[in-house]
Amino acid sequence: MQNPFIYGGLVFGDHFADRQTELSDLATEMSNMSKVFLVSPRRIGKTCLLKNLQKNLREDGFLTVYIDLYKAPTLRHFTEQYAKAVVEVVEGKLERMVKAVPRILPGLRPKLDPNPDGTVSFSVEYIAREKEVFQILTEVLEYPERASIRKKKRFVVIIDEFSDIAKYDGTDVEKAIRAVVQFHQRVGYIFSGSKRSVIRDMVKDKRRAFYRMGRIMELTPIRRDLFIAFIESWFARGEYDLSENVVDLILEKGRDIPYNIQRIAHNIWEKASESKKAGNASVDKAIETIVNQESMNYEALWDGLSQKQRELLIGLAEDDPATVFSKDFTERWRLAVSSIQASLRALENKGIVEKEKQGKYRFDDEFFRLWIAR
């Protein structure tokens, strides 16, 4: 039997644990053509949730597209990818896609690239002048509403890693998006992001374009009892014999982050594939293996940090989650508040440290924390 614990990619069907409440909440919101901002730290499962939602919506007759800002370094790329996604889902067939682009979207043209297996890849290319990008983007953003009317189907647009929108020089893009989507009556939108504070500012700040445009839904970890049942049932199907607390320990050491939990479980499954036995020590061994597997990356990451940043991380690795500006923390680790501030900003930007509620900070990657603590 193949290792059922998948980490780092998308999980569907039997490999996707729980999230029933979230799926049905989001489906309801989308039936009402709402706009929802989905937020959580990285690796909690936003992308997996959205892809599973998309699958369900498609089965229910919605047209849906998914666009990942992470994969679109500039606004031109974003425009191209948005157009490609929408044209594909609306037109379906290659010939129709190719014809639709110039007809409906001036400034863009279809591009066909042959694959080695004889098939052809379709994409959309931006050919207008740079300064027309807002105009072209607006056309593209209008497309789902119009297509929805023409096709008599409801439409859902999902934009992942939306908190990175500032990389396109921020507020003008937000305004352009709002100006179009606020009038859409047949399209639901989900804007998903890993930077909670960025999304909150967008939606809660009166001066910003997305002010009160939709509700913020915070994605929390998968319920423990359900995640435990999921892991236990897979080990049972593989005929593994686990000692009593193993699965609890996996969740605890993985800090309830699905990625961590899947990776630890994957490792235990692998190591015990002969003996079919795992105890509490197996959890520590699995974590040690993972930290070793990542050590090259962590070394490179560490090399890129300043001395002050490293000092802060060493303290945080021990106290995580820590109230880093507290007297207790600064004195214990002999750090000046001013240097902590500067380091934190850099570390947050690099995605190494993230702010929790109540002024606490924690590592984004638990295995990196353990690597430092070691």
Ligand X SMILES: Nc1ncnc2c1ncn2[C@@H]1O[C@H](COP(=O)(O)OP(=O)(O)O)[C@@H](O)[C@H]1O
Binding residue for Mg ion (CB under 5 A) from 35, 37, 47, 242?
47
Q: State the nearest-atom distance from the C-beta of 349 to ligand X, in Å.
A: 17
Q: State the nearest-atom distance from the C-beta of 72 to ligand X, in Å.
A: 16
Site string for Mg ion, 27-46 (x = CB under 5 A): -------------------x
Contact 195, 349 (CB under 8 A): no
The verdict on 190 binding ligand X (CB under 6 A) reads no
* CB closer to ligand X, 266 vs 369: 266
Contact 305, 270 (CB under 8 A): no
* CB closer to ligand X, 260 vs 282: 260
Residue type, 345: R
Q: Do you know the residue count of the chain? A: 374
Q: State the nearest-atom distance from the C-beta of 160 to Mg ion, in Å.
A: 6
Task: Considering only residues 25 through 84, tell me which ones interact with ligand X, judged by CB under 6 A.
Answer: 40, 42-48
Q: State the nearest-atom distance from the C-beta of 155 to ligand X, in Å.
A: 22
The verdict on 54 binding Mg ion (CB under 5 A) reads no
SS3 state of residue 22: helix
* Burial of 361 (C-beta count, 10 Å sphere; 0-12/13-18/19+): buried
**What CA–CA distances, in Å, run from 21 to 200, 222, 223, 261?**
23, 10, 11, 21
43 closest CA partner among 354, 359, 374: 354
321 prior amide bond cis, ω within 30: yes
The verdict on 52 binding Mg ion (CB under 5 A) reads no
Pairing of strands 63-68, 155-160: parallel
Site string for ligand X, 210-239 (x = CB under 6 A): ------------x-----------------
CA angle, 37 then 68 then 192, to 5°: 10
Gap between the Cα atoms of 207 and 80, Å rounded: 29
110 closest CA partner among 120, 129, 97: 97
**Alpha carbon of residue 315 to chain centroid:** 28
Task: Considering only residues 199 through 238, tell me which ones interact with Mg ion, judged by CB under 5 A.
Answer: none
116 touches, from ligand X, Mg ion, none (C-beta below 5 to 8 Å by class) = none
Q: Write phi, then psi, for 69 (nearest 5 degrees).
A: -60, -25
Binding residue for ligand X (CB under 6 A) from 262, 282, 309, 343?
262
* CB closer to Mg ion, 9 vs 114: 9
* CB closer to ligand X, 47 vs 163: 47
The verdict on 7 binding ligand X (CB under 6 A) reads yes
Gap between the Cα atoms of 3 and 266, Å rounded: 7
Q: State the nearest-atom distance from the C-beta of 194 to Mg ion, in Å.
A: 7
Q: Choose the binding region for ligand X from 14-22, 170-178, 242-250, 276-284 (rule: CB under 6 A).
A: 14-22
* CB closer to Mg ion, 46 vs 369: 46
**Alpha carbon of residue 343 to chain centroid:** 25
Give the residue closest to ligand X by C-beta: 45
In the chain, beta strands by DSSP E = 35-39, 63-68, 108-114, 120-126, 155-160, 187-193, 215-218, 241-242, 277-278, 353-355, 361-363
Task: Considering only residues 132 through 161, tell me which ones interact with ligand X, judged by CB under 6 A.
Answer: none
Contact 96, 102 (CB under 8 A): no
Q: State the nearest-atom distance from the C-beta of 354 to Mg ion, in Å.
A: 14
88 closest CA partner among 105, 74, 71: 105
Task: Considering only residues 98 through 137, tell me which ones interact with ligand X, judged by CB under 6 A.
Answer: none
Q: State the nearest-atom distance from the C-beta of 258 to ligand X, in Å.
A: 3
The verdict on 17 binding ligand X (CB under 6 A) reads yes
Q: Choose the binding region for ligand X from 4-12, 268-276, 291-299, 305-313 (rule: CB under 6 A).
A: 4-12
Q: Which residues bind Mg ion (CB under 5 A)?
A: 46-47
Q: Which residues bind ligand X (CB under 6 A)?
A: 6-9, 11, 16-19, 40, 42-48, 222, 258-259, 262
